[in-house]
Amino acid sequence: MQQKTSRRTNRERSDTTRAAILDAARGLFVSRGYADTSTPDIVSAAGLTRGALYHHFEDKKALFRAVAEREATAVAAAIEQATAKGLTAREALKVGARAYFDAMNHPGRIRLLLLDGPAVLGKHEMMAIDAANAQRTLEEGIAEAMAPAAVAPEKLAALASLLSAAFDRAALDIADGASTELYAETIGTLIDRMVST
Amino acid sequence: MQQKTSRRTNRERSDTTRAAILDAARGLFVSRGYADTSTPDIVSAAGLTRGALYHHFEDKKALFRAVAEREATAVAAAIEQATAKGLTAREALKVGARAYFDAMNHPGRIRLLLLDGPAVLGKHEMMAIDAANAQRTLEEGIAEAMAPAAVAPEKLAALASLLSAAFDRAALDIADGASTELYAETIGTLIDRMVST
DNA sequence: GCATTATCATACAATCTGTATGTATCCTTA
DNA sequence: TAAGGATACATACAGATTGTATGATAATGC
């Protein structure tokens, strides 16, 4: 007779239960949406109780934020990996867009990051979450690609914001069944036309 | 002594209470968001009880839908009025964009139509609400403006979706303090570059 | 005028969130 | 290594919310 699963360090305990809660929450947030997911459902799916949830997370919203952050960093990592090679700025933009579409194609990311996220956490907090991630990279890429055109920096920022919105919409449409090829191509011409002097 | 306010037809009663509930709900949805607005708060602000609310609306979500629809039609009307004059397709797009920014500048419309709407009603239902309104007009305008370029219709649709997303983002940024002029100009060049053969 | 229906108020049951409290396990330190 | 304390988690509770069921009043149709 072994001692069940005893003798676990506190760090181990916390890590496994945190992960269990995050995984269960992610699944339910994705399938039912944030509002229609109850904390009893989450902890039940994780095989725990609400005590564990409220010990590790301040409230339900903080749990959602943790889920969204984990997802956003995963997307950012995918983009960074795809654009790491030595590409021209313009090509990096196109490749990055394609990588973004693929990353957002993972089930649930659309809902977490583009639908529920802004409504639950607010526009600004949501922007902050992936500002540290994707947005900054995009803005730098655009600035670099448009360097020869000598555009005012404020206009560059506006353009970056608009392009980023187009990326998001493309991901949404693709998740809705639209062709990834079609949108990658359309985004490509959009970039070419904007970047050309 | 007059008879208080009696002798009102049923239609009149319903119309006034429906309007009172819609107005109160709009105000609270805007200031606190959908999730943090309770039905007791709404009817209290309207000087009624929850009985009236649930008599006129199936549930809280249906009430939000009614508010969002009213708002979307107001925006569509503003655009339609601005673009009614005889303009070239390309000019109509720019003028329409400007009218859209102005219309979305009315307090609360951003939150109702761009933040809470998609999360509460779902992406598709939200699209349906202003598909009958703005989206269709935009797609036709783009098709008309790009007619000489002979672009595949599916690509035209994709482009319209991406541009529409850019419009939304511009409205969001403007609501956040960005310059309307800057974004109108940036959208203008975006249109010019895309439409030019 | 009377029966019926529509409008709105009140009462109720179920559910959810966040907190308070209790218990077991782990960690520190003397 | 044996307290003493902190950490991890479970259980219990209070307040609030949603949707429904029931009741009362005013309007409408015959």
- Please report the pLDDT score of residue A132 as a whole number: 64
Residue B165, C-beta contacts closer than 8 angstroms, at least 6 positions apart: A165, A166, A168, A169
User: Rounded to a whole number, what is the distance in Å from the CA of B15 to chain A's nearest CA?
Assistant: 31
Interchain pair A159, B186: CB under 8 A? yes
A119:B119 CB<8 A: yes
d(CA B126, nearest CA chain A) in Å: 11
Percent of chain B having pLDDT more than 90?
Answer: 77
Cα–Cα distances in Å, from A30 out to A20, A83, A111?
Answer: 15, 28, 6
Mutate one of A113, A124, A161, A196 to test the B interface: name it (highest B CB count within 10 A): A161
Nearest-by-Cβ selection for A165 from B118, B158, B165:
B165
In this complex, which of B35, B119, B170 lies closest to A162 when CB atoms are compared? B170
Residues of A in contact with B183 (CB under 8 A): 158, 162
Higher pLDDT, A150 or B128: B128
CA distances to A102, A158, B14, B114, B181 from A172, in Å: 12, 21, 39, 14, 28
Return the pLDDT at B6.
Answer: 57
**What integer pLDDT is reported at residue A69 of this predicted model?**
96
Which chain A residue has the Cα nearest residue B115? A119
Any idea what DSSP says for residue B5?
S
The H-or-E segment that residue B24 falls in is helix B10-32
Q: With contact defined as beta carbons under 8 Å apart, do A33 and A11 qualify?
A: no
Helix (H) or strand (E) holding A162: helix A153-175
Distance from CA of A86 to the nearest CA of B (A): 28
Residues with CB under 7 A from strand C: A 6-11, 13, 37-41, 50-51, 54, 59-61; B 10-11, 13-14, 16-18, 43, 48-52, 54-56
Please give the residue of chain B at the shortest CA–CA distance from A178: B158
pLDDT at A133: 64
Probe site for chain A from B146, B169, B174, B181 (most A CB atoms < 10 A): B169
**Per-residue model confidence (pLDDT) at position B100:** 95
Pull the structure tokens for residue A14. 């916390």
Please compute the mean of the pLDDT values over residues B124-132 and round it to a whole number: 85
Mean pLDDT by 10 residues, chain A (197 residues): 58 97 98 98 98 98 98 93 90 93 96 97 92 75 85 91 95 97 95 83
Q: Alpha helix locations (H) across B33-179?
A: 39-46, 50-56, 60-82, 89-104, 109, 117-121, 123-130, 136-145, 153-175
Phi, psi of B23 (to 5 degrees): -65, -45
pLDDT at B10: 82
Cβ proximity of A27 and A45 under 8 Å: yes
Closest residue by Cα to residue A83 from A74, A73, A94: A94
Which domains does chain A show, CATH number per domain?
1-57 (1.10.10.60), 62-195 (1.10.357.10)
CA nearest to B67, candidates B99, B103, B27, B101: B27
**pTM, to two decimals:** 0.93
Cβ–Cβ of A166/B166 closer than 8 Å? yes
CB A95 within 8 A of CB A83: yes
Average pLDDT over residues B28-34: 98
- Cβ contacts (< 8 Å) between B33 and chain A: which residues? 119
Q: Which of A34, A169, A193 sits opposite B194 (nearest CB)?
A: A193
Q: Name the closest residue on chain A to residue B112, using Cα atoms.
A: A119
Burial environment of residue B181 by CB neighbours within 10 A (0 to 12, 13 to 18, 19 or more): exposed
Average pLDDT over residues B1-24: 81
CA/C1' separation A6–D5 (Å): 21
Is residue B160 very low, low, confident or very high in pLDDT (cuts 50, 70, 90)?
A: very high
Structure tokens at A84: 């790491």
Whole-number Å distance, CA B10 to C1' C4? Answer: 15
**Helix, strand, coil percent values for chain A (each to nearest 5):** 80, 0, 20
Give nucleotides in strand D with any atom < 7 A to a protein C-beta. Answer: 7-12, 16-23, 26-28
Say which residues have a Cβ less than 8 Å from residue A27's Cβ, sequence separation at least 6. Answer: A45, A108
How long is the CA A153 to C1' C11 vector, in angstroms? 63
Decide if B115 and A115 are in contact by the 8 Å CB cutoff: no
